[in-house]
Structure 1
């Protein structure tokens, strides 16, 4: 079994297609949770907000 891939991102919303090609899956858009992480339901890739990245949310 391959280890789960972790990808650091700089935006609160990411698109995942499983890497495309024959091993890919339909493109899905995922929104990071309050903990700055999200897992793709198709391929189990972990997306993590990079340290210091701005989420674009307003603190009003």
Structure 2
């Protein structure tokens, strides 16, 4: 049984430090800065967005792939 809940959104970036505010507005959260780990990925502790460095994109397997064109 797989207890892993897939992240709601995957964002590909070209830096190893990112900022996340949950999209801002009423549904956002405080601005936080997140360091991508050695694996080139990190998740926001507030909104669970998954950040993946573009150099590691080929290594990342999205646990909930969407049909082509749906992003």
Greater strand proportion: 1
Please tell me the root mean square deviation across aligned C-alpha atoms, in Å.
Answer: 1.4
Partner of 2:9: 5
- SS of residue in 1 equivalent to 2:55: coil
Greater helix proportion: 2
Aligned residues: 50
- 2:51 equivalent among 43, 47, 50: 47
Superposition misfits of 4+ residues, deviation over 2 angstroms: none
Which segments of 5 or more consecutive residues in structure 1 lack a partner in the other structure?
Answer: 53-60
Which segments of 5 or more consecutive residues in structure 2 lack a partner in the other structure?
Answer: 1-6, 57-71
- SS of residue in 2 equivalent to 1:51: helix
* Cα offset, 1:31, TM superposition: 0.1
Give the alignment's TM-score, normalised by structure 2: 0.67
